[in-house]
Chain A
């Protein structure tokens, strides 16, 4: 699949944003986070900013963005529509929660309820995003039991690493949070490696024989319908060279997982501002790493239409 930057950025940014929103909502409502103006402003700004930037980026992917409102109508059948509904719906409690926290300086009562609802909305939205991909049968690498948990884990992971960086920045860091995001990053790492292993060994029943109905033997493409690349090939025929693939997986592992884990462990032993600095670096590295991971998520996904083109 073609790794369009708009979509790569969208899923990465909203994943992190919803993760952070969910954690802020839950933790603030539980009173684990002080109702501080600046903390609220930066925290909610970051979460909602990432979400909004991601959503705007995804709208940029549309052929007719001015009609985007129509996408809320088909929630009964379409995960994309559900994602649209969930993402917009989440803005309501998230907005109230942000107002309560930032401007009213409170995180209890209705603000806490709004925070919890925002967290639920965030999780739901990430689920719908994951399901958009997981439901696509033509792409075996996506249509797998790894996809939905992956989206949830990476959202929680990048959200927690961001939250840690945020709290560390305000000198509010805690070893529990550090431990939590180190564990989540390790979990994410493990999940990604397991996903790759699974995909690499995937035996896909769909092949050029079933695609053409020509049973037995081998089916080899001799001539394309058109000698130049068309929409199908540009959108779904993306190919990545094996060596690039391996290199990018290494980069993903280093940036998204290994480096953040090392930085976070180091942060255990350091005080503010050094712990904050390392935490911020961990968040930045991870975000960059997740962009690479998401790029690979697309680039390594093979659509069945490529079978018709001998790719």
Chain B
């Protein structure tokens, strides 16, 4: 059923902190590793040891240079499904394979219904959809739907694989529909943004922009150093200090 639910009970999603991401690819392979044996298994790799290598990945990390009047900054940028509130990838699907869950807002693909028309990947502005040419169906991030409710995992492990793996703590998970949730408060505090808001897909995932130089709590209000004013210069100062 590709009509969107009028309302979802939760809006589960991720928040990615671009101020902290070092581009280490931990979330990328953690995602690949979990999901290649998970709900959408496998994440096929074509020509894995050859020149035309091309695999299915639900999470990819780009690297950009952001040049402003303040100078340049290198920004590492993880990109995955944003689990939009109005995802056209769902509504364009002719078969009902793509759907948005009414309970938690996760956008999923029912592989058994997918005919591999690829239209959803055209409709997604973010490049979140990944076609598995071997199986002939579209795959995508499941927000680790087979982890976050998984009774066979310890409770503290019931988070998406990318969030669990991230070594710099740059990834967050929770209910973005609940303004009181820790993740919503983080977004509010750090001015989290939507990607391509002008297209109106209303992504659930938010990105925390890099702190601008001036906004960083880290700037140190250090007065310039002055040479010691002691007789005999520095050595005189040392003597005076030791005599105290």
Residues of A within 8 A of B (CB): 1, 61-65, 67-68, 70-74, 76-81, 84, 132, 135-139, 205-206, 208, 210-226, 228-232, 234-236, 303-305, 308-309
Counting CB contacts under 8 A, is B135 at the interface? Answer: yes
The 11 listed contacts between A and B (C-beta, < 8 Å) are A61-B118, A64-B116, A67-B115, A71-B94, A74-B95, A77-B93, A78-B93, A136-B123, A137-B200, A212-B195, A213-B194
Q: Is the CB of A67 within 8 A of B95?
A: yes
Q: Is the CB of B64 within 8 A of A222?
A: yes
Residue interface bits B132-149, CB-to-A below 8 A is 1, else 0: 110111100000000000
Shortest beta-carbon distance from A140 to chain B in Å: 10
Q: Please give the number of chain B residues whose Cβ is less than 8 angstroms from any Cβ of chain A in the complex.
A: 70
Which residue in chain A gives the minimum CB-CB distance to B138?
A63
CB contact list, B71-125 vs A, under 8 A: 74-75, 77, 79, 88, 90-97, 113-119, 121-125
Q: Is the CB of A232 within 8 A of B115?
A: no
Q: Is the CB of B118 within 8 A of A219?
A: no
Binds A, one of B55-63, B151-159, B164-172, B218-226: B55-63
Contact among A135, A224, A225, A303 for B92, CB-based, below 8 A:
A135
Shortest beta-carbon distance from B187 to chain A in Å: 12
Given A138-B199, A214-B209: A219 and B66 interface contact (C-beta under 8 Å): yes
Given A137-B200, A230-B54: A214 and B64 interface contact (C-beta under 8 Å): yes
Q: A210 to B57, alpha carbons, bound, how many Å?
A: 23
Q: A113 to B35, alpha carbons, bound, how many Å?
A: 55
Q: A224 to B207, alpha carbons, bound, how many Å?
A: 19
Which residue in chain A gives the minimum CB-CB distance to B112?
A67
Q: Is the CB of A205 within 8 A of B198?
A: yes
Q: A211 to B210, alpha carbons, bound, how many Å?
A: 15
Q: Is the CB of A62 within 8 A of B115?
A: yes
Counting CB contacts under 8 A, is B126 at the interface? Answer: yes
Counting CB contacts under 8 A, is B52 at the interface? Answer: yes
